[in-house]
Structure 1
Amino acid sequence: MGFATALLDLLLPQLCAGCGRPPALLCGSCAGLLTALPRPAWPDPVPTGLPRPWTATTYEGPIRSIIAAHKESGRTSLARPLGEALGRTVQTVLFQHGGQHGATVVPVPSGRAAVRRRGHDPTWRMTEAAVAGLWTAGMPVNGLQALRQRRRVADQAGLTVGRRAANLAGALEVPPALDVTGRRVVLVDDVITTGSTLAEAARALRAAGAEVIAAATVAATPRRRPAVKHGARR
């Protein structure tokens, strides 16, 4: 599916993945949403063990459509602009930590079934694009698929914060044959919602001896505060 969709993406006139207008992969307006200044993206509440999270933009409107088009519709050409946004976020993280060279960028792993269904691994594609951009910018970092799922997890959609954490507890691991001891790691993913996935990924890496300095994502789910009832004390 991924190859066929990518081929059609090359042969047919393109519509913007964000707003659906022709004639480009991303129109100028939607592409501009990916160039915002990276910012901290703490969820509320903060799950135990979550490394400091940074993000490039907000997961709403056209950004939701762009990420879905890359992840679920096989528009693999979007890996480059999404990877560039992710790379700028990783670069911000590294500047916050003294501009460390030689850091390792580790993506949250996709499940095997999801990779088969999608025909590609979208997070790894973005990671590769981000790492390539960082090398071009003079920041030699390494991309490494250092994590794998050790058991199946349920679909996270619709789960509460607590159930997400329980669903993911102990779900990831570093393969025993891979030595990450002493590596300084930036965790990456496409979206941060509750932070449970990144917290579990960080736990697995720390258990294997890595130092997780921060997390970076393309987008962060907006924090929704409950409405204040009329007449309620503020």
Structure 2
Amino acid sequence: MRGWWWREISGLVLPADCAGCGRRRTLLCERCARVLHGGPVRRARPVPELAGLPAVHAAAAYGDAVRAVILAHKERGAMGLAAPLGRALAGAVRAAAPGSAGGAGPLLLVPVPSARRAVRARGHDAARRIACSAAAELRRSGRSAAVLPLLRQVRPVADQAGLGVPERLANVSGSMRARDAAVRLPACGVPVLVDDVMTTGASLAEAARALRAAGGGGHPDFPGFAQVSAAVVATVPLPSVINRN
């Protein structure tokens, strides 16, 4: 807690270099901001496209400046970057649930849960923090939105770095479950799974499975859970991973 508090305060009062390119005395320069959230949001399709993976929209490709910004926020506690990352995620959420603007209820941003040991080590939950920033950005633009941490990890998973697609699938299979509160909520909005980065889609596919299971597929209280979509800040640019809508 003490380290988290110091990062928050120091990020406000100390000069910073651009997290994307290192330009002096700016947390995020205009050029890197445009790369992060100034381009077109696109449908992301990993190769292979996993069974059960919902439609995923991404604001940017995960590389160079975007990768540096995400890692600065997640691993080095640059909390001020949650705002531009949230702006990027908000754009992807709008693309993932375009019909919700017509009165289908508020957007319900459901973060993919992080491992508890990772959250403890970092001092914050990066995906949830970005989701909260995205929800605030959506509300400022007139869209009703809320963050609902409906999912939790029910068993430890290994670090995914370096794992191939089959290994990632086996690693996360059955690792998530909806919280008890999820099955008591009324059908009141449009669920969108959110995360900072998609690599193979294994975590998002598992999160979608757990969310759909909370409604039993066609549970009358959760008709929208069968139609869950997903949005991420960035996706790894594997061959054909990003295609225009």
* Maintained 8 Å contact 2:90/2:134: yes
Match of 1:21 among 3, 20, 23: 23
Counting only pairs closer than 5 Å after superposition, residues 60-75 of structure 1 correspond to structure 2 as 60-75=63-78
Cα deviation 1:14-45 (Å, max 9, x = unaligned): 10000111111101110111221110001010
Cα deviation 1:180-211 (Å, max 9, x = unaligned): 56453100000111000000000000000123
Aligned twin of 1:200: 206
Q: How big is the shift at 1:212?
A: 4.0
Any idea what SS the aligned residue of 1:211 has?
helix
Match of 2:126 among 114, 122, 125: 122
Q: What is the one-letter code of the residue matched to 1:56? A: A
Counting only pairs closer than 5 Å after superposition, residues 75-224 of structure 1 correspond to structure 2 as 75-95=78-98, 99=102, 100-179=104-183, 180=185, 182=187, 184-209=190-215, 210-224=225-239
CA distance in 2, matches of 1:165, 1:212: 22
Q: What is the one-letter code of the residue matched to 1:91? A: R
Q: How big is the shift at 1:141?
A: 1.9
Counting helix residues as a fraction of each chain, which structure ranks higher? 2
Structure 1 stretches lacking a partner, 5+ long: 226-234
- 2:35 matches 1:11: no
Aligned twin of 1:229: none
Any idea what SS the aligned residue of 1:105 has?
strand
* Maintained 8 Å contact 1:104/1:184: yes
Q: How big is the shift at 1:98?
A: 6.1
Comparing 93-102 and 143-152, the one that deviates more: 93-102
Q: How big is the shift at 1:9?
A: 1.9
Kindly, what percent of the aligned residue pairs are identical?
Answer: 45
Q: How big is the shift at 1:97?
A: 5.8
* Maintained 8 Å contact 1:37/1:56: yes
CA distance in 1, matches of 2:89, 2:136: 11
Cα root mean square deviation, aligned? 1.6
Q: What is the one-letter code of the residue matched to 2:9? A: L
Q: How big is the shift at 1:84?
A: 0.7
CA distance in 1, matches of 2:15, 2:100: 43
Q: How big is the shift at 1:10?
A: 2.0
* Maintained 8 Å contact 1:205/1:212: no
Q: What is the one-letter code of the residue matched to 1:129? A: S
* Maintained 8 Å contact 2:208/2:228: no
Q: How big is the shift at 1:92?
A: 1.6
Aligned twin of 2:221: none
Any idea what SS the aligned residue of 1:164 has?
helix
Change (3 A) 1:114 1:212: farther
Any idea what SS the aligned residue of 2:230 has?
strand
Any idea what SS the aligned residue of 1:219 has?
strand
Structure 2 stretches lacking a partner, 5+ long: 216-224, 241-245
Q: What is the one-letter code of the residue matched to 2:95? A: T
CA distance in 1, matches of 2:239, 2:7: 35
TM-score w.r.t. structure 2 length?
0.87
Q: What is the one-letter code of the residue matched to 2:45? A: W
